Amino acid sequence: MSATGGGGHDPARLAVLRGPVEPIDHNARTIAALAANPGCDRRAVLDAAGVDKGRTVRHLGHPPRFGLSPFAMFRNEQFKAIVKEDGGAHLVRLLREVLHLTTEDAAYQTTGEDAGDAREVRHRRTAELLRQAAEAGRAATLLDRPLLTLAIAGHDVYLEPDVIAFQAEGRFHVVAIKAFAVIDGQAETAKVSAAAREAAVYVHAMRALFADLGLDPERVSHDVVLVCPKDFGNVPTATLVDVRHQLLVLDRQLGRLKGVDRILAALPADLTFDLARPAAEVAAALAAVDARYAPECLASCEMAAFCRAEAHGCDSLAALGRAVRDDFGGVGSVAGAIGLAEGGVLPEADQSEVAERLRHIHRIYDEAVV
Ligand code: SF4
């Protein structure tokens, strides 16, 4: 079944880009990562074609340092098991508090963990259980491991089930369980942002499924419930996180993937990232697609080591991070910034303000070191 609209790409063109292999599957984490750098054409093309970025970057001699360590994965699984104990009884108490519900308890259902179950079967079961929960009215339901789908660049992908959908009093909430600590009511901003981006993918996919089922997608709340360990122990605590902003970014990025034809139109028709080719040829093919490297890529994209090495060799200000790029709006290179500061380069119309600031800082620096 289709979760969202199709893409309209030329599948043959994407197959040429990818080489003679199957496109890789996405999961919520990889889809969320799409939203982390929405301006990067290279990532948009690689993801639309379903290129295995991890294999590609290894082929290029840059092993990806990306993803959770085995210890972090074990810790995540351990904490999830604690939160779900007793058919989610403790979780329901937390949800009741954070959502201010009068609900006493909730039915606990799972789409099944039988490895033998095909994904299609589990997805159909998810749709049926969500429909039943939607019709249940005031009775609360916890649905563990809902298996959702999302159309990415014109083909449906399954989303790994690592959240719980909770229905109470007619509203559905995505519940994301993460093992990073909340200390004195505060958690690391980067981790909360990553969890919010990931949860937004589930909200988006659940809303799409609701639309397919003839249900009102707005019944899936933009307030997701983030469950984390409190302080340094294993006691769970729940917080509401509003993911409206993340949903907007995700919509925009998925829209860009659907519109990747515009990027492809500017590329040679025979361009390919086929890993049967020598690394230098694959690197040259990648270099033909504009990238927008920022240090944040290191936490969100397998290609980061390759793109960083490339950006360091090309004098790009963006390689110093988004904060620098925003501060220097309109100036693209380190040499350009130095030229404006020293007065050797005349500012363009949109650079007068930043040029003024650079000259001012340059004067202060000169006075300080003389
Ligand atoms: S690492 Fe490279 S391909 Fe990935 S988002 Fe950053 S610039 Fe784009």
The first and second tokens of residue 206, run together, are 């659940």
What's the whole-number mean pLDDT along residues 130-158?
82
Measured in degrees and rounded to the nearest 5, phi and psi for residue 71 equal -65, -45
Q: Give me the pLDDT at residue 2, please.
A: 34
- The closest-lying atom of ligand 1 relative to the alpha carbon of residue 311 is 7
Q: Please name the residue whose Cα sits nearest to atom 1 of ligand 1.
A: 304
Q: How far, CA to CA in Å, does 295 sit from each of 7, 253, 317, 320?
A: 30, 19, 11, 7
- The closest-lying atom of ligand 1 relative to the alpha carbon of residue 46 is 3
| C-alpha 49 – ligand 1 centre gap (Å) | 15
Residue whose CB lies within 8 A of the most ligand 1 atoms, among 31, 34, 41, 42, for a mutation test: 42
What would the pLDDT profile of 288-337 be if each residue is shown by its tens digit? 999 988 888 887 888 999 998 888 766 677 667 667 777 777 777 788 88
The first and second tokens of residue 369, run together, are 């070191």
Q: Residue 43: CB within 6 Å of ligand 1?
A: yes
Q: Residue 96: CB within 6 Å of ligand 1?
A: no
Q: Please name the residue whose Cα sits nearest to atom 3 of ligand 1.
A: 43
Band of pLDDT at residue 113, cut at 50, 70 and 90: low
Q: Give me the pLDDT at residue 65, please.
A: 66
Q: Residue 311: CB within 6 Å of ligand 1?
A: no
Q: Residue 273: CB within 6 Å of ligand 1?
A: no
Measured distance CA(281)–CA(86) in Å, rounded: 55
Whether residue 165 contacts residue 130, with contact meaning beta carbons closer than 8 Å, is answered with: yes
Residue whose CB lies within 8 A of the most ligand 1 atoms, among 41, 293, 296, 306, for a mutation test: 293
| C-alpha 118 – ligand 1 centre gap (Å) | 33
Residues 6+ apart with CB under 8 A from 75: 179
What's the whole-number mean pLDDT along residues 333-349?
84
* Lowest-pLDDT range of 48-57, 211-220, 321-330: 321-330
The first and second tokens of residue 364, run together, are 């202060």
The first and second tokens of residue 240, run together, are 């509401």
Q: Give me the pLDDT at residue 370, please.
A: 60
Band of pLDDT at residue 355, cut at 50, 70 and 90: confident
- Strand 163-168 and strand 171-177: the pairing is antiparallel
CA dihedral 86, 92, 98, 99 (to 10 degrees): 170
Q: What is the DSSP string of 188-242?
A: -HHHHHHHHHHHHHHHHHHHHHHHHTTS-GGGB-SEEEEEEEBTTSS-EEEEEEE
Measured distance CA(122)–CA(227) in Å, rounded: 25
Band of pLDDT at residue 366, cut at 50, 70 and 90: confident
| C-alpha 176 – ligand 1 centre gap (Å) | 26
Residue 144, Cα to own-chain centre: how many angstroms?
21
Q: What is the mean pLDDT of the chain?
A: 84
User: Hey, which of 9-13, 126-130, 149-153, 340-344 has the most confident mean pLDDT?
Assistant: 126-130
Q: Residue 187: CB within 6 Å of ligand 1?
A: no
% of the chain exceeding 90 in pLDDT: 31
| C-alpha 218 – ligand 1 centre gap (Å) | 33
Count CA atoms within 13 Å of residue 258 on its CB side. 15
Bridge partners of residue 155, in order along the sequence? 152
Helix or strand or coil: residue 124? Answer: helix
Q: Give me the pLDDT at residue 311, please.
A: 82
Residue whose CB lies within 8 A of the most ligand 1 atoms, among 51, 296, 301, for a mutation test: 301
What's the whole-number mean pLDDT along residues 78-102?
88
User: Hey, which of 60-64, 65-69, 72-76, 176-180 has the most confident mean pLDDT?
Assistant: 176-180
Q: Give me the pLDDT at residue 283, please.
A: 95
| C-alpha 351 – ligand 1 centre gap (Å) | 26
Measured distance CA(314)–CA(347) in Å, rounded: 21
Q: Please name the residue whose Cα sits nearest to atom 2 of ligand 1.
A: 307
Q: Is the pLDDT of residue 223 over 90?
A: yes
Residue 163, Cα to own-chain centre: how many angstroms?
15
| C-alpha 291 – ligand 1 centre gap (Å) | 6
Q: Is the pLDDT of residue 206 over 50?
A: yes
| C-alpha 110 – ligand 1 centre gap (Å) | 36
Helix or strand or coil: residue 32? Answer: helix
Q: Residue 53: CB within 6 Å of ligand 1?
A: no
DSSP 183: B
Residues 6+ apart with CB under 8 A from 33: 197, 300, 301
Measured distance CA(370)–CA(363) in Å, rounded: 11
| CA-based radius of gyration for the chain | 24
Residues 6+ apart with CB under 8 A from 138: 103, 168, 169, 170
Q: Give me the pLDDT at residue 64, please.
A: 65
Q: Is the pLDDT of residue 7 over 60?
A: no
Q: Which residue has the higher pLDDT, 1 or 264?
A: 264
Q: Is the pLDDT of residue 4 over 60?
A: no
Band of pLDDT at residue 3, cut at 50, 70 and 90: very low
CB atoms within 10 A of CB 355: 21
Measured distance CA(355)–CA(350) in Å, rounded: 10
Q: Give me the pLDDT at residue 335, please.
A: 80
H-only helix segments in the chain: 11-18, 28-34, 41-48, 53-59, 70-99, 119-135, 189-212, 244-258, 261-265, 279-287, 304-312, 322-327, 334-342, 352-369
What would the pLDDT profile of 226-276 be if each residue is shown by its tens digit? 999 998 788 999 999 999 999 998 888 888 777 788 889 999 999 999 999
What's the whole-number mean pLDDT along residues 64-87?
80
Q: Residue 304: CB within 6 Å of ligand 1?
A: yes
Q: Residue 297: CB within 6 Å of ligand 1?
A: yes
| C-alpha 344 – ligand 1 centre gap (Å) | 32
Q: Give me the pLDDT at residue 314, please.
A: 66
